[in-house]
């Protein structure tokens, strides 16, 4: 497919699968049981992560402007057009996810349903768009790969949450988000593959930035990312029999994508993908805040 065919395909898939947000008025909220309320209480940082899709897009443009200033060629810049176009589609969808989670979380924490009206726009802009200055972990290639591989985590997380909650309307709302995330995996995979195939230089640079792209979640742009990772990890790994179940699912998916993107040039086995992921989780354990540092190992300085 040409890059334009890919972006058009995933744009119309977004249109066709657009779910009714019911004007963000969920009259079933009072029916939620204690179990469901307990799970929703763990999702405040996930709400932040969804909204920070805006910061991810802002930093993405920022990185391209920086690359151009450093002499990245016009032809290589132009190859990114469909990915920038898709960024516009995805930011809107992540915003919808953030609004759903924001409403749910506000209701279970203080009983109110005026989340949208009560949100201060200036505060919102600072927390979710202009929040990345201290967290510039990526170059252009590791960042697009992070966007792609993070959607694997998002999809698997929502899959687990949908399985756990009781209320059918809550299940539906979260399943809508899960389905969007799964479509995002497919779209970023196809668009990144088009990019890699457009010029050998893209492939070379993508491989050089792969380790970070495979591991760092693009939601690391926002302040509460590591707090959320630690808070939600039990939702992931408390499956009865096999504690590694979700990690295995994630590694399998990531490996499949690596094979699709890089073919015989893929440097990692499925086992290595899993080891890299577990190593990252081990480093993140117990931390709530981080920032970029030249000196820190892997450039992540944990500050809380
Ligand atoms: Fe999302
Ligand atoms: Fe997504």
**What are 176-210's pLDDT values in tens digits?**
999 999 999 999 999 999 999 999 999 999 999 99
Q: What is the pLDDT of residue 53?
A: 96
Rg (C-alpha) for the chain, rounded Å, is 19
Q: What is the pLDDT of residue 236?
A: 74
Name the 3-class secondary structure at 226: helix
Q: Looking at the CA of 98, name the nearest ligand.
A: 1
Whether residue 243 is predicted with pLDDT greater than 90 in this model: the reply is no
**Ligand 1: centre distance to CA 88 (Å):** 14
Q: What is the pLDDT of residue 234?
A: 81
**Ligand 2: centre distance to CA 233 (Å):** 18
In sequence order, the 6+-apart residues with CB closer than 8 A to the CB of 66 are: none
Confidence of residue 246 (pLDDT cuts 50, 70, 90): confident
In sequence order, the 6+-apart residues with CB closer than 8 A to the CB of 184 are: 90, 93, 151, 154, 155
**Ligand 2: centre distance to CA 77 (Å):** 24
Q: Looking at the CA of 149, name the nearest ligand.
A: 2
Residue ranges of E strands in the chain: 290-292, 300-302
Beta carbons of 206 and 149 less than 8 angstroms apart: no
CA 260/CA 252 separation, integer angstroms = 12
**Ligand 2: centre distance to CA 55 (Å):** 13
**Ligand 2: centre distance to CA 295 (Å):** 31
Q: What is the pLDDT of residue 240?
A: 58
Q: What is the pLDDT of residue 171?
A: 97
Beta carbons of 54 and 95 less than 8 angstroms apart: yes
Q: What is the mean pLDDT of residues 83-104?
A: 97
CB atoms within 10 A of CB 253: 20
Q: What is the mean pLDDT of residues 113-139?
A: 96
Beta carbons of 59 and 220 less than 8 angstroms apart: no
| Model pLDDT for residues 10-63, shown as the tens digit of each residue | 999 999 999 999 999 999 999 999 999 999 999 999 999 999 999 999 999 999
CA 163/CA 113 separation, integer angstroms = 25
**Ligand 2: centre distance to CA 13 (Å):** 14
Q: Nearest 5°: phi and psi at 291?
A: -145, 165
**Ligand 2: centre distance to CA 150 (Å):** 8
Could you give the domains of the chain? 3-14+29-302 (1.10.620)
Q: What is the pLDDT of residue 238?
A: 59
Q: What is the pLDDT of residue 293?
A: 95
Confidence of residue 228 (pLDDT cuts 50, 70, 90): very high
Q: Looking at the CA of 183, name the nearest ligand.
A: 2
Which residue from 206, 169, 148 is spatially nearest to 25, judged by alpha carbons? 169
Q: What is the mean pLDDT of residues 109-123?
A: 96
Q: What is the pLDDT of residue 2?
A: 79
Buried b (16+ CB within 10 A) or exposed e, 229-250: bebbbebbeeeeeeeebbbebb
CA 304/CA 48 separation, integer angstroms = 18
């Amino acid at each position: 497919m040409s890059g334009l065919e890919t972006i058009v395909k995933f744009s119309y898939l977004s249109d066709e699968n657009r779910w009714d947000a019911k004007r963000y008025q969920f009259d079933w909220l009072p029916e939620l049981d204690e179990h469901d309320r307990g799970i929703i209480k763990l999702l405040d940082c996930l709400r932040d992560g969804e909204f920070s899709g805006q910061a991810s897009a802002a930093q993405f443009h920022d990185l391209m402007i920086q690359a151009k200033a450093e002499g990245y060629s016009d032809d290589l810049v132009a190859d990114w057009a469909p990915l920038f176009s898709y960024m516009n589609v995805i930011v809107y969808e992540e915003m919808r996810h953030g609004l759903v989670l924001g409403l749910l979380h506000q209701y279970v924490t203080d009983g109110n349903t005026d989340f949208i009206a009560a949100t201060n726009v200036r505060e919102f802009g600072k927390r979710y768009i202009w929040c990345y200055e201290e967290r510039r972990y990526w170059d252009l290639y590791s960042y697009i790969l992070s966007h792609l591989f993070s959607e694997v985590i998002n999809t698997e997380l929502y899959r687990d949450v949908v399985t756990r909650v009781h209320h059918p309307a809550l299940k539906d709302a979260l399943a809508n988000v899960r389905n969007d995330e799964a479509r995002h995996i497919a779209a970023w995979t196809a668009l990144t593959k088009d990019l890699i195939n457009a010029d050998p230089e893209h492939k070379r640079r993508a491989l050089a930035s792969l380790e970070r792209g495979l591991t760092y979640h693009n939601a690391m742009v926002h302040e509460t990312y590591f707090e959320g990772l630690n808070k939600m990890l039990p939702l992931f790994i408390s499956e009865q029999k096999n504690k590694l179940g979700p990690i295995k699912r994630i590694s399998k998916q990531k490996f499949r994508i690596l094979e699709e993107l890089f073919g015989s040039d893929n440097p990692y086995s499925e086992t290595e993908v899993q080891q890299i992921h577990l190593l990252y989780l081990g480093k993140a354990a117990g931390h709530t805040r981080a920032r970029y540092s030249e000196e820190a190992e892997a450039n992540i300085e944990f500050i809380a």
